[in-house]
Amino acid sequence: MSLKRLVSDTIEKQAETFKAISRSIGRNPELGHREYEAARLLTAELEKQGFSVERGTLGLETAFIGSYSAVKPGPTAAFLCEYDALPELGHACGHHLICSMSLAAAVGLKAAVDELGGTIRVYGTPAEETAGAKVTMAAAGLFDDCDFALMAHPYYSFEKSGESLAMDAVRYEFAGKAAHAAASPHEGVNALDAVIQLFNAVNALRQQVRSDARIHGIIDNGGKAPNIIPDYASAKFYIRSASRSYTNELAAKVRRCAEGAALQTGAALTVTNYELSYDELLTNETLSERFTANLLEGGVRPEEIETGKDHGSLDLGNVSLRCPAIHPYVKIVEQRYSLHTPEFRDAAMTEQALDRMIFAARMLAATAYDVFADPKLLAAIRAEFEASVRRRLS
């Protein structure tokens, strides 16, 4: 038996274990940074499989890093687990599949790593949907010594790793002065008017922004009663674009819109980030091509694999600036159910979805195997990464 075949067979032989973990997490959805049971199941299985486990990484209760190193030196691979659910919807983004997929891929690669040489790490990264832990981990340098990072996302089609948008999550709070809205409105300072002026200014700004820009928000506090001039109002915005540098420019422009609204109304302005900022994804095309090649070898037809698209913002973007990374999409359902819907959530719990999760795990493991086994491929991945980071910084 070839060593690469051993990797795949190891996953297949333990498929029911990985499926059971996925089912359990899917049936018991937990919100970001509260994924206690998911983290417990994943870390327990890692230890059972011979990995050493660090829990509570960087003080994040549900974060972890599982590690296994061969005596023989070699590359370091990072498999990334996501396991947070969405409010009310549960696992409508398929994170119960993502975490089991990465776990299974790491276990499969471990069957060959003693002969190949190198280190396998499984990163438990909470709260991708909100305050993504990958941002904190990347900033702390936890991926700096990784040769590459892998994960795959369940979807209704196969799609190459593409792009994502850099994002800032910004809250604008306005403090005014309460007054009786009928008897003495002239004595008040209307904080809600400031929020409305902010939205008007942002709407005017849209004509002067690049086509990749996205600015969208909500009023999360608009006052207490119609007959009281609101002395406090606030809005939350996501500000996004294809690059961190332009997102910073957009955020500065929106801030000036908010400052203008405060000046017009006399309200006092406070600006804060209510979630962590995500950077854009730099897909490593060399690594992505290797994953696609494994899909084809695994029986996926070329016409089934779509070009990578932008699907919003990912905290993996921050990781991709620290080490080569990919984020392909893998087909787990037949119907074109959109992510973050009840339909996708339910479909992602079917036996078909679980079977395809195992297939995706095999593809991730096969890709990592190829990098471990081919120093020239590893060198090409590193060279592309260094060039892409230089271009971003220039």
Mean pLDDT of 72-81: 97
* C-alpha–C-alpha distance, residues 243 and 278, integer Å: 10
Range 63-82 average pLDDT: 97
pLDDT value of position 311: 78
Instruction: Name the strand (E) or helix (H) holding 271.
Output: strand 268-273
* Predicted pLDDT at 342: 96
Query: How many angstroms separate the CA atoms of 58 and 85, rounded?
Result: 21
DSSP code per residue over 154-187: EESSEE------EEEEEEEEEE-B--BTTT-GGG
The pLDDT score that the predictor gives to residue 394 is 78
Q: How many percent of the chain have pLDDT more than 70? A: 100
* Span 304-326, pLDDT tens digits: 999 977 778 999 999 999 999 99
pLDDT at 393: 82
Which tokens go with 383? 């060279």
User: 337: helix, coil or strand?
Assistant: coil
Q: In 10 A of CB 282, how many CB atoms?
A: 22
Task: Find out whether 21 and 45 touch, Cβ atoms under 8 Å.
Answer: yes
Residue 1 is predicted with a pLDDT of 57
Angle at 355 between CA 351 and CA 360, to 5 degrees: 145
CATH of domain 166-273: 3.30.70.360
Q: Is the pTM of this model over 0.85?
A: yes
pLDDT of residue 200: 98
The domain ranges of the chain are 3-164+279-393, 166-273
Rounded to an integer, what distance in angstroms lies between the CA atom of residue 337 and that of residue 312?
A: 17
Whether the per-residue pLDDT at 210 is higher than 80: the answer is yes
Q: What are the start-end ranges of the E strands in 142-265?
A: 148-150, 153-155, 158-159, 166-175, 214-221, 232-241
- Distance between CA atoms of residues 328 and 192, nearest Å: 43
| Furthest C-alpha separation in the chain | 87
Fold of 3-164+279-393: Aminopeptidase (3.40.630)
Q: Enter the tokens of residue 239.
A: 């500000």
Give CA separation, 245 vs 215, 241, 250, in Å: 15, 9, 9
pLDDT (average), residues 98-120: 98
Q: What is the mean pLDDT of the chain?
A: 96
Across the range 348-370, mean pLDDT stands at 98
Answer yes or no: is pLDDT of 328 > 80: yes
112/115 Cα distance (integer angstroms): 6
Q: How far is CA 136 from the centre of its chain?
A: 12
61/47 Cα distance (integer angstroms): 18
* CA angle, 300 then 303 then 306, to 5°: 95
Cβ neighbours around 67 below 10 Å, total = 16
Residue 278: predicted pLDDT: 96
How many angstroms from the chain centroid is the CA of residue 359?
A: 21
**Whose CA is closest to 242, among 284, 276, 209?**
209
Looking at residue 310, its pLDDT comes to: 74
Tell me what pLDDT residue 42 has. 98
Sequence-distant (≥ 6) Cβ neighbours of residue 286 within 8 angstroms? 324, 377, 380, 381, 384
Distance separating alpha carbons of residues 382 and 301, to the nearest angstrom: 29
Per-residue pLDDT averaged across 118-142, rounded? 96
Distances (CA, A) of 246 to 84, 132, 165, 214: 29, 21, 10, 11
Q: In the 8-state DSSP scheme, what is residue 280? A: P
DSSP class of 86: B
Is the per-residue pLDDT at 298 higher than 70?
yes
Tokens of 213: 């820009």
Compute the distance between CA of residue 375 and CA of residue 8 in angstroms, rounded to an integer.
Answer: 21
State mean pLDDT over 160-183.
Answer: 96
- Residue carrying the six token digits 């494994």: 294
pLDDT digits (tens, 9 = 90+) for 230-262: 999 999 999 999 999 999 999 999 999 999 999
